[in-house]
Homo-oligomer: A and B are copies of this chain.
Amino acid sequence: MSVIKYDVRRGAYYDSVVLMQLQRGLIGLAGVLDAGVVMATPANRDLLAANNLLPNSINASPDDMLIVVKAENDPSATEAMNQIDVLLARRRSSVSQDFRPRSLNAAAKQLPEANWVLVSVPGRYAANVAREALEFGKHVFLYSDNVSLEDEIALKKTAREKGLLVMGPDCGTAIINGIGLGFANHVRRGPIGLVGASGTGLQAVTTHIHNLGGGISHAIGTGGRDLKSEVGAITAHQALDLLARDSETEIIVLISKPPAPDVATKLLAAAKLTGKPVVIDFLGYPPPARKIGNLHFATSLIEAAAMATQSVGVRNSDSENQPLPILNYYLRGLFSGGTLAYETMLGLQATLPSLYSNVAITENQNLKDPLHSECHTIIDLGDEFFMVGRLHPMIDNDLRIRRMRQEAADPEVGIILLDIVLGEGSHVDPASELAPVIKEVHNQKIEVVAIVIGTDDDPQNLQSQIEKLKEAGAIVFRSVTEAVNYISMRLGQNVKNDFPPVNLEQLKQPFAAINLGLESFYESLTSQGAQAIHVDWRPPAGGNEKLAALLTKMKK
């Protein structure tokens, strides 16, 4: 019968490489069946239990190292326990660096050209290390997780003020000037620049681009929470701005899990104004269309890579890359078709804030009173609300004509959007009834955009309907997608960056960095030919939190 023995090392700091190496060392000993070496967090204790490695009674806190050995018999278990200190002592750094500075300060003096600091120390220490790096004027690649949202926001706000980037926390990857940071694939250099919230998403897309024959200028990680409302995509906005200014970047790819809607709208509005094709894959975000102006929406990581690679060398038309002058007025869409109204909402919400409707997609788009528009508004006039004892607006134009006049009387309105659905059952000549009002509205300097849905075989005569609408002054499109494309380019926020730009020249200098935490990241940098220095970082007071608090108090 097997025997389990354990040891608890109280309140001492061991990095995760030490834990792994000790565990492997123990498993390699004669007579040992299995072993677990972990910080005694609830999750890790559960994991030990799942592997039948949890001793019955155990007194250990999350700050303690827990060492468990399962052996064939008692002597083997005892012998293994005796080997712990030997194995811990045998653990030797593989870092070949001659002199190992003990602090960021010392490292910065040793390698003054280092503009970057890689932080992969345990989460509870990471924010302080990152803060120190920002104070030294360095960009931060923050691999550590278990960093609080509050710390993330504070760090990013500080960084933004200084024109510095904080990539992370929980940022797994980045490629700066050809050098991979953290986890990163070896990819060709080229004209595609990426901004990615998450690690493996960015790795997958850069890898796919390389495999498709394309190349990468820079790939900037932001951490998974950057696109939450609370953080407001600080790093993503900085990165987008940086790649927009970078002459080597021709195409930008933006990857993330679904961002908060308000954050998405602002980020897409900023992307719209970059003047470069931007491929977007917000995983799980309903794409408003394949393409809105210079924004191209992908539905998967591999498709994002394919779209970016295909766009290389394809000169986009000026009209795509040079956004129309932003019209600082409101849109009012008056629809007879519910689904057409809905698809319009879907398209517009991507880049248009303050959008309201009686066919709202999100709750905050709900129009309080369907009879009165607010800001940008899309109304489905065929909604049940309007339909009791009344003919459908596709048969009877009265309601829509009255509403057009109502909207035109609002001095904040700049565009009125209509759908005109032809075919059996519909009004025999809607254009003739609508044209006089369109003319009237058009004369008030309001653009009228009409989406005409119909075929050349429809009873109304498609061509003459279109002609009548155009003669009255309407801009006519034949699908929602085209109309949304036009309006999205015409309206929206004129996003001005209210932060100091990140220095582009610094980004292009030979990469040099200071590394704190995982030694393998240091090794990876040097193997790629980058200049790097590894700090022999230890937590304050050796990880003893009470002592650390005391030390902090004494310093004051």
Contacts and interface: CB of A to CB of B under 8 A. Distances in A.
A508 interface: no
A339 B171 CA distance: 12
Contact of A424 (B41, B186, B224, B388): B186
Interface in A185-233: 185-188, 198-204, 207-208, 210-211, 224
A457 B186 contact: yes
A371 B394 CA distance: 57
A392 B15 CA distance: 12
A252 to B, nearest CB: 18
A43 B77 CA distance: 81
Nearest to A211: B455
B425 A200 contact: no
A149 interface: no
Given A47-B371, A454-B185, A286 B286 contact: yes
A301 B39 CA distance: 54
A396 B16 CA distance: 10
Interface in A332-351: 336-340, 342-343, 346-347
A170 B423 contact: no
Contacts of A550: none
A69 interface: no
Interface in A175-193: 180, 182-188
Given A20-B398, A346-B284, A453-B203, A458 B338 contact: no
Contacts of A389: 14, 16, 19, 38-39, 41, 44, 65, 122
Contact of A203 (B257, B258, B337, B399): B337
Contact of A528 (B200, B343, B371, B424): B424
A116 interface: no
Interface in A382-417: 382, 384-392, 394-396, 398-399, 402, 406
A301 B183 contact: no
A391 B204 contact: no
B342 A186 contact: no
Interface string A3-18: 0000000000010110
A485 to B, nearest CB: 10
A146 interface: yes
Contacts of A145: 384, 387
A50 B381 CA distance: 15
Contact of A300 (B200, B289, B459): B289
A282 to B, nearest CB: 9
B455 A185 contact: yes
B50 A371 contact: yes
A186 B337 contact: no
Interface stretch (A322-330, A463-471, A473-481): A473-481
A459 B186 contact: yes
A60 interface: no
A161 to B, nearest CB: 28
Nearest to A451: B204
B299 A184 contact: no
Contacts of A154: none
A84 interface: no
A421 interface: yes
A388 B207 contact: no
B425 A183 contact: yes
Given A39-B388, A200-B419, A339-B200, A396 B20 contact: yes
A51 B173 CA distance: 60
A294 B371 CA distance: 44
Interface in A460-499: 478-482
A125 interface: no
A302 interface: yes
A208 B386 contact: no
A353 interface: no
Given A287-B299, A301-B343, 15 more contacts: A20-B390, A39-B389, A41-B388, A43-B385, A146-B388, A172-B382, A183-B394, A184-B424, A186-B423, A186-B458, A201-B339, A203-B337, A203-B423, A211-B456, A395-B520
26 contacts: A16-B391, A23-B398, A43-B370, A43-B371, A44-B388, A47-B386, A47-B402, A50-B406, A62-B388, A145-B384, A146-B387, A185-B423, A185-B453, A185-B454, A185-B458, A186-B458, A187-B455, A198-B342, A199-B338, A201-B343, A224-B338, A285-B286, A286-B286, A289-B299, A297-B299, A302-B481
Which A-B residue pairs are the 6 nearest by beta carbons? A200-B337, A39-B389, A201-B339, A185-B423, A186-B457, A183-B425
Interface of A: 14, 16-17, 19-20, 23, 38-39, 41, 43-44, 46-47, 50-51, 62, 65, 122-123, 145-146, 170, 172-173, 180, 182-188, 198-204, 207-208, 210-211, 224, 255, 257-258, 283-290, 297, 299-303, 336-340, 342-343, 346-347, 361, 369-372, 382, 384-392, 394-396, 398-399, 402, 406, 419, 421-426, 453-459, 478-482, 518, 520-521, 524, 527-528
